[in-house]
A = this chain, B = another copy of it.
Amino acid sequence: MLEKLDMKKKLSKADYNAVMDELGERLGQVQRMAREAKKPIIIVFEGWRGARRSAIINTMMQQMDARGFDVYSTVRMSEEEHNQPFFTFFWQHLPALGNIAVYHRSWYYLKTANEVACKEGNASCCQFISYDHINTFEKMLTDDNYIILKYFLHLSNNQQKENIAKNAKTLGKAWRDVSPAIDESDKYEEYLERYEKMLEATDKVNAPWHLIAADDRRSAEIEIITSIVETVEKAVNTPVAAPAAVIRPNTKYDVLGKINATQELSKEDYKKELDKYQKRLKQLQIEMFKAQIPTVICFEGWDAAGKGGAIRRLTAALDPLGFSVHPVSAPNVVERQFHYLWRFWVHLPEPGNIAIFDRTWYGRVMVERIEGFAKDYEWQRAYDEIKDMELQWAEHGFAIAKFWLQIDSDEQLRRFNDRQNDPMKQWKITEEDWRNREKWDAYEEAVNEMLVRTDTSYAPWTVVEGNNKYFARLKVLKTIVDLFEKKLGK
């Protein structure tokens, strides 16, 4: 693709100034338009070393409001950030609605740098993100009305050498000294091939590459800013159309109907077993920490199914420095400014730690589906989005357990009434619980579909028979013990 570019373009300083005067004003304008329209914008600058990304970003900043305009660079990531699943850094720095995030070297450079470091024997771990994951990541965002603008700044080999030499003279570039980006100038052909492959694999209709002939900085700047202005203007002025209907599986699944939620376990047996598994878990937590394996444990289930109690029996066994519990309810006003998966990515466990989610991202295909908080095409595509997210974590080495705590409708009613009638427990039950109960059938359908479609080899669902709390708590503990042992190769 790159070889088709016209590298001879030139723009005089006078012509540049003449154009930039008006163009700069328009850039400021479209920023305000995007803010007004609550469109989040992602701008990616990739390309050769020496392509003067910083200068271009600087020119842009002169025209724009600093409010809601942020610049991030993967050359400045910390070691801890490098140790997280690939996209974590980018999730953490996603623009909120109406804001602009500029990535001075993005996921593309990060992938390349990881691969080069590995090839040269400088990497502790040689696991690479696939272009599929990159495409999925971008698709998920553009599906959610993010605008993604990707610029590849192309330099000829000669011009690159010239630029690098010039940069080195101006006292060195401090940031590049600390963590220098790859200098491709001596292996230009090799990298050209690599970049070509990257571009062809990720040039997609929803997030196409803008290939920029950057030997001449001035024409490159004009080209880039013009394209930003025109794309954003168009995007803001084009009404968002609902996507075409998706193909829905018309099988009715019935996972829950086959579960006998009532299982027997006496209190004495429970106490004995509980003690045994808690002790085992305590030890395994330490081993998981030493092996630096992160764990995600998800709890879903009917209201009053015993999620809280199961979590407490689990955490009772754990060192409080090594886990955190994230209770999930309706997104707050800040969380609503982002893609719905954002608030989970920012709470991933550090290496060796355990993140426990009390309700999860599966709300998208349950409550949001049933209450209409997500449009049909939104929750319908969520199965794919969620599976891709969990796959990324699994590929990064995460241990993942997902529990559905199952009770039958009669049992729920009994527990609701108990709560209602006991002054010490009344705080546990709300009008909303009763309202949700009326929608039992709709939830059952949604849960059945979820349990089938998101049950994967790397993140399987465990349905827990929950009418007997003792049995349920033990099954949760046992499942986690098994998972840890498997992960540790025991």
Contacts and interface: CB of A to CB of B under 8 A. Distances in A.
Nearest to A56: B320
A408 B61 CA distance: 29
A32 B427 contact: yes
Interface centre among A174, A424, A427 (most CB of B within 10 A): A174
A332 interface: yes
A283 interface: yes
A175 B289 contact: yes
B172 A286 contact: yes
Interface stretch (A71-79, A254-262, A438-446, A452-460): A71-79
Interface stretch (A12-20, A128-136, A308-316, A472-480): A308-316
B321 A71 contact: yes
Contact of A320 (B71, B75, B332): B71
A66 interface: yes
A301 to B, nearest CB: 16
A62 B57 CA distance: 51
17 contacts: A54-B319, A57-B320, A58-B315, A61-B320, A62-B312, A66-B325, A66-B327, A66-B356, A73-B321, A78-B78, A78-B80, A104-B320, A173-B319, A174-B289, A174-B352, A175-B319, A332-B333
A25 B320 CA distance: 20
A303 interface: no
A225 B285 CA distance: 26
Contacts of A385: none
Nearest to A286: B174
A113 to B, nearest CB: 16
A61 B290 CA distance: 24
Contact of A75 (B104, B171, B321, B325): B321
A226 interface: no
B320 A54 contact: yes
A427 B285 CA distance: 56
Nearest to A319: B54
A59 to B, nearest CB: 9
Interface centre among A66, A311, A318, A321 (most CB of B within 10 A): A321
A259 to B, nearest CB: 27
Nearest to A328: B67
Contacts of A285: 174
A435 B486 CA distance: 67
Interface string A267-307: 00000000000000001011001100000000000000000
A70 interface: yes
B312 A174 contact: no
A324 interface: yes
A224 to B, nearest CB: 15
A459 B120 CA distance: 47
Given A67-B327, A80-B78, A322 B171 contact: no
Interface string A17-42: 00000000100000010000000000
A175 B322 contact: yes
Nearest to A326: B66
A358 interface: yes
A102 B61 CA distance: 42
Contact of A66 (B58, B321, B332, B358): B358
Contacts of A356: 66
A330 interface: no
Contacts of A333: 332-334
A75 B312 CA distance: 24
A264 B67 CA distance: 31
A283 to B, nearest CB: 6
Nearest to A72: B321
A70 B324 contact: yes
A107 to B, nearest CB: 17
Interface centre among A67, A172, A178 (most CB of B within 10 A): A67
Contact of A58 (B65, B283, B320): B320
A25 B358 CA distance: 21
Interface in A159-173: 171-173
